[in-house]
């Protein structure tokens, strides 16, 4: 099956590296025009350079997805740059140290919920304001395998990602007959720059062993799933939490 996104206008948050950048590169290669954001200028510049090397039209902007004003500004500028908005991939997210819940603090909670949950809510809200009058569109949220299972020491992260899963499913039903589809991708442990920086090499084998396929995923593994969901091949799919986790949540 050839998955074409020719002419599609796609917005991606947190696309400076890792999964977000892999998705942006795959979308542009498939013919889409993309708008991307990140919170770091260096990463944003490097991502835009990568997209320029592929070709096509693209736009980039710094954006903190936890800020309603910043999100509204990014969406408005992206629509102006691309001319329309067909698909939104809410990818921006952060992790947290693995500690028992009693050792977490308010700053940990506020940061995780502000980006992982509030950021998705703000971007979904802005997407729906644009897509509802058009009667079409597709929102894809980046949830997690930890939207479906647990991991000791990751209580706040798990809570944020369960909430993203619930928000995805509930809103998909709410807008079921509107022409707007809403789904989420639930990756397992993916070998991103963030994971390589935060997890010592000797501990990565333990993370890989969580997956029956006994390896870490790659950003490209997730991008392939995002390609299918973004394409018309998934036209009868909404409210789904799509696992890309090497079989982890099948255990």
For residue 236, what are the CA distances in angstroms to 46, 178, 212, 213, 240?
36, 13, 29, 29, 11
- Give the global pTM: 0.97
pLDDT the model gives residue 170: 99
Of 59, 109, 157, 162, the catalytic one is: 157
**Tens-place pLDDT, residues 99-131:** 999 999 999 999 999 999 999 999 999 999 999
157 in catalytic set: yes
- The domain ranges of the chain are 9-243
* Annotation: CATH topology of 9-243: Rossmann fold (3.40.50)
**Tens-place pLDDT, residues 174-220:** 999 999 999 999 999 999 988 888 888 889 999 999 999 999 999 99
């Amino acid at each position: 099956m050839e998955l074409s996104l020719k002419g599609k206008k796609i917005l991606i948050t947190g696309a400076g590296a890792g999964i977000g950048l892999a998705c942006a590169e795959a979308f542009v290669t498939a013919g889409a025009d993309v708008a991307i954001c990140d919170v770091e200028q260096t990463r944003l510049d490097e991502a835009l350079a990568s997209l320029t090397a592929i070709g096509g039209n693209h736009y980039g902007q710094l954006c903190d997805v936890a800020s309603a004003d910043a999100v509204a500004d990014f969406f408005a500028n992206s629509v102006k740059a691309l001319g329309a908005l067909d698909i939104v991939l809410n990818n921006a997210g952060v992790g947290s140290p693995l500690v028992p819940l009693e050792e977490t603090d308010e700053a940990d909670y506020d940061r995780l919920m502000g980006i992982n949950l509030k950021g998705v809510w703000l971007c979904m809200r802005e997407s729906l304001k644009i897509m509802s009058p058009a009667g079409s569109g597709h929102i894809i949220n980046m949830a997690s395998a930890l939207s479906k299972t647990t991991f000791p020491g990751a209580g706040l992260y798990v809570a944020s990602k369960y909430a993203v899963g619930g928000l995805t499913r509930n809103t998909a039903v709410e807008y079921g007959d509107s022409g707007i589809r809403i789904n989420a991708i639930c990756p397992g442990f993916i070998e991103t720059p963030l994971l390589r920086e935060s997890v010592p090499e000797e501990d990565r084998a333990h993370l890989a062993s969580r997956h029956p396929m006994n390896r870490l995923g790659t950003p490209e593994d997730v991008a392939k799933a995002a390609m299918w969901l973004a394409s018309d091949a998934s036209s009868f799919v909404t409210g789904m939490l799509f696992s890309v986790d090497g079989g982890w949540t099948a255990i």
